Amino acid sequence: MAGTPLVTLAALATGVGAVLLLVELAVLPPQAAGVAGVTAGHGALLATALAWARVGSAARVVAIALVGVAAAASHFGALGSCAYLGPALWVGFLSARGRLTGLGLGTPVSPWRVAAGGLLGVGLSAHLLFSASRTLGIHVRADHTFAMLGAIAYDIGANVLAAECFFRGALFDRAERRWSFAVAATIATVAYVLRYLVDPLLPKSAGLMVGAVFYLALLGGANCWLLSWSGSLLPGLASASIFFAAYRTLGAR
């Protein structure tokens, strides 16, 4: 846990508590609770990953602020959700400056290895779409395009970005330097699955929960292997982005 930005995490937790209290007192609108939750949750993961990569506090604050701005803008529709590209572009800028090599970003990687990550995401997505339609009666929908695009933007700039940077680029990498690949991958994947099980946005039906654990465990373990194999976080980002994009197309009839 060395280098964990405890002050930043405490500030995020305090901020969420204050916003929830103000919402309860009807001082702020209910949407403020969602904005605060997204900002604190993804901001905490991203800030911790950046801190473990020895990125300065100013850059971490910018990342959190961009997530917060995007979370607020997303309430104005799919166009507002495009603001989620901000955190992704900021991480890309830091990578280009060579400041995120500790997370596996900005390091040389073969395009074929990134493509391998993409193919893994396609295969897992195809299995998800098939099994969801066969077992749960959930099918691909074409009547919620704008909501789907907004959700994909959220995945690119917050959900997938923060999860891959922290659980693979930071936690798995740090654990693998101490223990074997199997132990490190287990630690990172269990933490990754737990992150989604406590997510209030995840449907809580038994069938969907079991399916979520199965697919997230596969995705998490596979992305740990991709990072260890390629030395880069890009293949894992590709596989996770494709998988969540496929998930966003699903909806009950």
- 93, 160 Cβ separation under 8 angstroms: no
Q: Tell me whether residue 161 is in a domain.
A: yes
Q: Tell me whether residue 56 is in a domain.
A: yes
Tell me, what's the pLDDT at 251? 65
CA distance 40 to 34: 10
Question: How many domains, the chain?
Answer: 1
Q: Tell me whether residue 151 is in a domain.
A: yes
> What share of the chain has pLDDT > 90, as a percent?
78
Average pLDDT, the chain: 92
pLDDT by residue (tens digit) across 17-67? 999 999 999 999 999 999 999 999 999 999 999 999 999 999 999 999 999
CA distance 88 to 158: 8
Tell me, what's the pLDDT at 252? 47
Q: Is 134 or 88 the better-scoring residue by pLDDT?
A: 88
- 232, 107 Cβ separation under 8 angstroms: yes
Q: Tell me whether residue 1 is in a domain.
A: no
207 pLDDT more than 80: no
- 240, 167 Cβ separation under 8 angstroms: no
Q: Tell me whether residue 11 is in a domain.
A: yes
Which pTM was predicted?
0.93
Residue-range definition of the domain harbouring residue 237:
6-252
Position 122, amino acid: V
* SS3 call for 249: coil
Q: Tell me whether residue 227 is in a domain.
A: yes
